[in-house]
């Protein structure tokens, strides 16, 4: 074992109501460590840098390959997934903090329920259930499928909400992720049959119009989803939808 160590400054919080505090940890360096493996190391022997016994740090994780979004946290000031945050590529001391845009459950674990509620609000699904077999739906061109696949990479991780200056306690903005999902489901040939329902949901309070175009979301998205393109495209769709709603239309 080399005597090289890794320093962590972790923002901790014991319960949702109590005040957060910072705790320092110093671990033995191992090759190819990531933030998750370091947190596991702390869990194995929860002793802080002063040598005092402490409680193990709480965090969420699941897939460990940046597709589930559960381990999102603020690492050295930027929200990202802990599983792909390699210790070798991070400046030390490595600062970990929860994504404060969401209610903190404990330490680095946050409650992202608002994102799932937002997906329900904008009807981010394709209704195909019925009382009889409707048969196959319309086919989707392959080029369009490839394009839609990029939008479908959203893992509801919450990084775009954390980076957005318009998602905060003073605003009811649902955030960029659910907006882009509307574009995904509206682009699907079967999903397009319920296009207007989703657009109208986006035009409710806290919807699309609350975007302020800071474009932090598209810069921060770990999956490279063209969030601001989706938003601008939905701006266009809702412009037409608003006129249709107001004046009526003979288009079915």
Partner 1 sequence: MAGSRSFNTRRLHSLLGVIPVGLFLLEHLVVNYFATKGAASFDNAADFMGNLPFRYILEAVVIFIPLYFHAIYGLYITFTAKNNTSRYGYFRNWMYLLQRVTGVITLIYVSWHVWETRIAAAFGAEVNYQMMADILSSPFMVAFYLIGVLSAVFHFSNGLWSFFVSWGLTVSPRSQRISTYVTMGVFVALAIVSVRTIFAFI
Binding site for partner 1 (CB under 8 A): 77-78, 163, 165-166, 168, 170-171, 200, 203-210, 212-216, 219-220, 226, 228-229, 231-239, 241-242, 245-246
In 3D space, the residue among 208, 73, 77, 231 whose CA is nearest the CA of residue 151 turns out to be 231
**Beta carbons of 156 and 231 less than 8 angstroms apart:** no
Alpha helix (H) residue ranges in the chain:
35-44, 113-121, 142-152, 159-163, 176-187, 195-202, 216-220, 227-247
Q: Least distance (Å) from partner 1 to the CB of residue 220?
A: 7
Nearer to partner 1, 181 or 228 (CB): 228
Q: Which residue has the tokens 């320092």?
A: 24
C-beta pairs of 38-46 under 8 Å, 24+ apart in sequence: 38/6, 38/8, 38/87, 38/94, 39/82, 39/108, 42/8
Nearer to partner 1, 77 or 138 (CB): 77
Mapped onto helix, strand or coil, the DSSP state of residue 205 is coil
Nearer to partner 1, 86 or 209 (CB): 209
**Beta carbons of 201 and 207 less than 8 angstroms apart:** yes
**Beta carbons of 186 and 195 less than 8 angstroms apart:** yes
Q: Least distance (Å) from partner 1 to the CB of residue 214?
A: 4
Q: Least distance (Å) from partner 1 to the CB of residue 121?
A: 12
Nearer to partner 1, 41 or 197 (CB): 197
**Token representation of residue 223:** 């999956």
Nearer to partner 1, 54 or 229 (CB): 229
Q: Least distance (Å) from partner 1 to the CB of residue 218?
A: 8
Q: Least distance (Å) from partner 1 to the CB of residue 231?
A: 8
Write out the DSSP string of 87-132: GGGS-SSEEEE--TTS-EEETTEE--HHHHHHHHHTT-S-----SS
**CA–CA separation, 105 and 18 (whole Å):** 10
Q: Least distance (Å) from partner 1 to the CB of residue 161?
A: 12
Nearer to partner 1, 34 or 228 (CB): 228
> What is the distance of C-alpha 141 from the center of its chain?
28
Nearer to partner 1, 27 or 208 (CB): 208
Q: Least distance (Å) from partner 1 to the CB of residue 206?
A: 7
């Amino acid at each position: 074992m080399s005597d090289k160590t890794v320093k962590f400054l972790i923002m901790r919080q014991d319960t949702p109501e109590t005040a957060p505090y910072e705790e320092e940890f110093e671990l033995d360096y191992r090759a190819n460590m990531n933030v998750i493996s370091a947190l596991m190391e702390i869990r194995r022997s929860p002793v802080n840098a002063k040598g005092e016994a402490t409680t193990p740090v709480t965090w969420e994780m699941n897939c460990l390959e940046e597709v589930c979004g559960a381990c999102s946290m603020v690492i050295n000031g930027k929200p990202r997934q802990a599983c792909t945050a390699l210790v070798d590529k991070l400046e030390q001391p490595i600062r970990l903090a929860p994504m404060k845009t969401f209610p903190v459950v404990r330490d680095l674990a946050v409650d992202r329920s608002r994102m799932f509620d937002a997906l329900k609000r904008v009807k981010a699904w394709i209704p195909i259930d019925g009382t009889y077999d409707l048969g196959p739906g319309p086919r989707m061109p392959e080029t369009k499928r490839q394009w839609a696949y990029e939008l479908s990479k959203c893992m509801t991780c919450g990084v775009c909400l954390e980076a957005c200056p318009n998602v905060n306690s003073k605003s009811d903005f649902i955030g960029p992720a659910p907006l882009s999902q509307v574009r995904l489901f509206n682009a699907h040939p079967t999903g397009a049959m319920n296009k207007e329902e989703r657009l109208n949901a986006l035009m409710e309070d806290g919807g699309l119009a609350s975007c302020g175009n800071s474009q932090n979301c598209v810069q921060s998205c770990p999956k490279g989803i063209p969030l601001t393109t989706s938003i601008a495209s939905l701006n266009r769709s809702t412009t037409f939808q608003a006129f249709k709603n107001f004046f009526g239309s003979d288009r079915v």
